[in-house]
Structure 1
Amino acid sequence: MVEQIFKITLQGNGKLVEKAIMDENVHYIHMVFPKNEGLPEHFSNSTVYMTVLRGTLSIGLDDQETHTYPAGNVLKIPFQTKMNVRNLHDDTLELVVVKAPAPQM
């Protein structure tokens, strides 16, 4: 078999951060956040591509005001950007985050 298979959870509304692929090329992370959940404020350790699969993302970057992005949006966030990722809405937020190149540990 040439390909590698990775799986993510496709159902549920509870908080979930699952690291599907974490190799030397890319980090691929699936996240689900109910209302008022999110990530701790942090700085991006790579270029981050964030895809909103469902719900509405509320995100503050560096010193900007919080912006909102509904499902179907893909954000490209530069390396070393301060990020505050939250779900401030009633609907469950689901994201896929791709870090490329993979952060150097």
Structure 2
Amino acid sequence: MVEQMFKLSGGNEKAVEKVIFDENVHYLHMVFNMNEGLPEHFSNSNVYMTVIRGKLSIELNDQEIHEYDAGTLLKIPFQTRMNVRNLHAETLELIVVKSPAPSN
């Protein structure tokens, strides 16, 4: 078999899955319920964030919170301060791709 297969978790439980984490790309699957999210941090690479379901509430650098619905893809530059949250009752599901893969 030439291809590799990876399986994403299903359901509504909080998850931050490192699906592919190699020298080329970091591919993560995240699920957050209301008032859950990531600790505030700076992006360590270019970040491509796709909202699969729910509504993303995100604060970048000194901007106010912006909200994005399912079907939205965000491109977030390297070294951007990020505060990623779900402020809504519906479960938030994201795919996050970091490219190039962070070196540390």
TM-score range with shorter-chain normalisation? over 0.9
Task: Quote the RMSD (CA, aligned, Å).
Answer: 0.5
Counting only pairs closer than 5 Å after superposition, residues 19-58 of structure 1 correspond to structure 2 as 19-58=18-57
Counting only pairs closer than 5 Å after superposition, residues 1-105 of structure 1 correspond to structure 2 as 1-9=1-9, 11-105=10-104
Normalized against structure 2, the TM-score is what? 0.98
**CA distance, structure 2, for counterparts of residue 14 and residue 35 of structure 1:** 11
> Which consecutive residues of structure 2, in runs of 5 or more, have no partner in the other structure?
none
How many Å apart are 1:7 and its aligned residue? 1.4
Large movers: runs of 4+ above 3 Å? none
How many Å apart are 1:52 and its aligned residue? 0.1
Normalized against structure 1, the TM-score is what? 0.97
**CA distance, structure 1, for counterparts of residue 35 and residue 89 of structure 2:** 9
3-state SS of 1:89 partner: coil
3-state SS of 1:76 partner: strand
How many Å apart are 1:6 and its aligned residue? 1.4
> Which consecutive residues of structure 1, in runs of 5 or more, have no partner in the other structure?
none
Sequence identity, in percent?
73
Aligned residues: 104
